Amino acid sequence: MQAFREAILNGASGEEIGAIPLPDHYRAATVHRDEVGMFEGLPSAEKDPRLSLHVEEVPVPELAPDEAYIAVMASAINFNTVWSSIFEPLPTFSFLERLGRESRWGARHDLPYHVLGSDASGVVIRVGSAVRHWKPGDKVVLHCNYVDDQDPSAHHDSMLAANQRIWGYESNFGGLADLTVVKANQIMPKPAHLTWEEAAVNALCNSTSYRMLVSRSGADMKQGDVVLIWGATGGLGGYAVQYVLNGGGIPVGVVSSEDKVQLLKEMGCEAVINRRAKNYRFWKDDHTQDESEWRRFGKDIRALVNEDPDIVFEHPGRTTMGASVFVTKRGGTIVTCAATSGYLVEYDNRHLWMKLKSIKSSHFANYQEAWEANRLVCLGKINPTLSVCYPLEQVGEAAYQVHHNLHEGKIAVLALAPTEGLGIDDYALREKIGEDKLNIFRRHASRQREQASTD
């Protein structure tokens, strides 16, 4: 892949890039099927991605007619990288086996290793014979909705497709690598004003937050809505806050440190709750919740914005769902896409039905939603939440940081890009948006590092 790296960095034409011979092997971050039992018996927190993630050479798979090879300049850690690398809630090899049974092309994915990664920025280097809209040399970002567009169920909302998958989690050949294989309908234009690493971190979390809040498939937020956002400086939350502010809503951000409170204020989110300082105890013990703590939380929200949330942006799951249902306004919506702290959630149904609240489920985004979310990044209306960047060799450490909630926003991983700061084409737009806005999370992270080194 070095020849592709040199060509891309030297501004080679699409024709020149398309003429470079493909390698037999490429460098990739993998987990191994014969290691899925390595953490058996350990609590989640002790399952260490630094032990299960490998960076190694793997063979280049054959290309299907509707696919493209992408030279990956940068990728990102998502929480699904953590799930895959700690083999929870189940090892991802069962997904690959199922895909392997579907077709001749699906069979390529069922391997003793799984190349992870559900985000990337890079350059198209080859396209299959059925690809119409993309060609070698195109600078792109990739979204992770992996669907068979010959399946009728994929044609209303492709997230409802019977065989919908997440690329690099439920399929192989993901983005944490120097090369990836994607379906043509996963490709979107790279925002020209961003570096490779800034461009690589957005698609998964930005599109998910877009569907949850803005799209009619989600909570369908309107101007003036109060939106409670759990983990408001996290991967999803950092985009959710921007959507609420852009859409004329009133975000109430929940975070767990004073540093994060400051970060949210810098983003323009004025109503913030530090859940650690407030020490909410929604659960008295493993089986019993405490309604008086839900009530205390509700009062704290009212004290900030004078009313209850129209929408609660939910993803922590078991720890928070009871409180989320309780504090939502009469007739409001709890929109959920995850359950980081446990998926067997519990809430008091009386507070749901008597006050006509709705729980809306959401999962990633269809191509159109991902495209619209990416368009907002291209226009500079949504900014990357990149806080820190690791080289591919340190992918285990990067996943460890996310697993232990030591990060803010998004962590990028450099693949073929040799350093940060490369890949910008539209300097005028960058200047118009301003480095200040583009670098809020990174500036914050570097201030924290400085602080830590002086302490």
Q: Which is nearer to ligand NAP, 165 or 260 (CB)?
A: 260
Q: Tell me which stretch binds ligand NAP (CB under 6 A): 45-53, 215-223, 337-345, 371-379.
A: 337-345
Considering only residues 35 through 94, tell me which ones interact with ligand NAP, judged by CB under 6 A: 78-80
Tokens of 80: 């699904």
Could you tell me which of 333, 338, 346 has the C-alpha nearest to residue 315? 338
Considering only residues 380 through 409, tell me which ones interact with ligand NAP, judged by CB under 6 A: 402, 405
Residue in the block written with tokens 């998004």: 410
Closest distance to ligand NAP from the beta carbon of 340 (Å): 4
Q: Which is nearer to ligand NAP, 281 or 295 (CB)?
A: 281
User: Which position among 164, 186, 215, 320 is part of the footprint of ligand NAP (CB under 6 A)?
Assistant: 320
Q: Which is nearer to ligand NAP, 78 or 195 (CB)?
A: 78
**230: contact with ligand NAP by CB under 6 A:** yes
Considering only residues 412 through 451, tell me which ones interact with ligand NAP, judged by CB under 6 A: none
Tokens of 92: 């991802």
Closest distance to ligand NAP from the beta carbon of 305 (Å): 18
Residue 184 Cα distances to 24, 27, 216, angstroms: 22, 22, 25
Q: Which is nearer to ligand NAP, 86 or 127 (CB)?
A: 86
Q: Tell me which stretch binds ligand NAP (CB under 6 A): 7-15, 124-132, 314-322, 429-437.
A: 314-322
User: Which position among 163, 256, 439, 448 is part of the footprint of ligand NAP (CB under 6 A)?
Assistant: 256
- Helix (H) or strand (E) holding 255, with range, is strand 250-255
**How many whole angstroms separate alpha carbon 177 and alpha carbon 29?**
6
How does 31-63 read in b/e, with b if 16+ C-beta sit within 10 Å? bbbeebeebeeeeeeebbbeebbebeebeebeb
**How many whole angstroms separate alpha carbon 378 and alpha carbon 17?**
24
Tokens of 436: 């200040």
**How many whole angstroms separate alpha carbon 183 and alpha carbon 230?**
33
Over the window 344 to 383, marking each residue x when it contacts ligand NAP by CB under 6 A and - when it does not, the resulting string is -------------------xx-------------------
**How many whole angstroms separate alpha carbon 240 and alpha carbon 228?**
10
- Give the strand pairing for 311-314 and 333-336: parallel
Closest distance to ligand NAP from the beta carbon of 324 (Å): 10
Considering only residues 190 through 209, tell me which ones interact with ligand NAP, judged by CB under 6 A: 204-205, 208
Q: Please give the distance of CA 47 from its chain centroid, rounded to a whole number.
A: 21
Over the window 263 to 292, marking each residue x when it contacts ligand NAP by CB under 6 A and - when it does not, the resulting string is ------------x-----------------
**How many whole angstroms separate alpha carbon 6 and alpha carbon 418?**
10
Q: Please give the distance of CA 203 from its chain centroid, rounded to a whole number.
A: 7
**How many whole angstroms separate alpha carbon 408 and alpha carbon 89?**
24
Closest distance to ligand NAP from the beta carbon of 130 (Å): 27
User: Which position among 227, 236, 386, 415 is part of the footprint of ligand NAP (CB under 6 A)?
Assistant: 236
User: Which position among 44, 262, 341, 448 is part of the footprint of ligand NAP (CB under 6 A)?
Assistant: 341
Closest distance to ligand NAP from the beta carbon of 323 (Å): 9
CB 337 within 8 A of CB 369: no
Considering only residues 17 through 36, tell me which ones interact with ligand NAP, judged by CB under 6 A: none
Closest distance to ligand NAP from the beta carbon of 363 (Å): 4
At residue 25, the 3 state secondary structure works out as strand
Residue 251 Cα distances to 94, 239, 299, 305, 309, angstroms: 39, 12, 16, 9, 9
Q: Which is nearer to ligand NAP, 79 or 167 (CB)?
A: 79
Closest distance to ligand NAP from the beta carbon of 50 (Å): 17
- Helix (H) or strand (E) holding 195, with range, is none
User: Which position among 64, 337, 386, 399 is part of the footprint of ligand NAP (CB under 6 A)?
Assistant: 337
**What's the CA dihedral at 152, 154, 160, 164 to 10 degrees?**
120
Judged by the rule CB under 6 A, the positions of this chain that interact with ligand NAP are 78-80, 204-205, 208, 230-231, 233-237, 254-256, 260, 275, 315-316, 319-320, 337-338, 340-341, 363-364, 402, 405
